[in-house]
Amino acid sequence: MIGLAAGGLATAGTSIAAPAQTAQTGSVSILATHNFGLSSQQAKNVQCFMRGAPASYTGSIDGQLGTNSWKAMQRHLKAYWNYTDSIDGDPGPNTVKALQRMLAFGWNYTDKIDGDPGPNTQAAFKRFANDMSVFYPCS
């Protein structure tokens, strides 16, 4: 009985912590993180860019691209990269397509604009994040 309970708790903890899911328990909500292959430092670079850019990011620089980070990125993509969907913080296919358009402009993304955050999108996103550490350093 104790083994079953412990196993159930271990499984529940794992599923709640999964990075691509949102779990809600009562009034507590665990938000998804979508770093798309970025290291924590690279994600911080992106957050610093969004704080300095007209994306109006006011969240913490924590290296986790969660809902508030993606809302700021969506505002930036809407202003400059033809993102036409809602500002909801969910980096779905339309957000990724706009991100790919941005990455194709200056970060050597040469694949299709297809909304799939695959390896080529991730590699270009890493180049973008590394460049942002120069132009928008965190203080």
Cβ(56)–Cβ(79) below 8 Å: no
* Secondary structure E strands in 8-117: 23-25, 28-30
For residue 4, pLDDT beyond 70: no
**DSSP output for 110-129:** -S---S---HHHHHHHHHHH
Tokens read off for 115: 């909304």
Task: Using the predicted structure, report yes or no on whether residue 19 has a pLDDT greater than 70.
Answer: no
59-76: b (≥16 Cβ within 10 Å) or e: bebebbbbbbbbbbbbbb
The pLDDT assigned to 137 comes to: 82
| pTM, entire model | 0.75
Please report, rounded to a whole number, the percentage of residues in the chain having pLDDT higher than 70.
74
3-state helix, strand, coil in the chain (%, to 5): 55, 5, 40
Q: How confident is the model at residue 5 (pLDDT cuts 50, 70, 90)?
A: very low
CA proximity to 95, closest of 82, 108, 107:
82
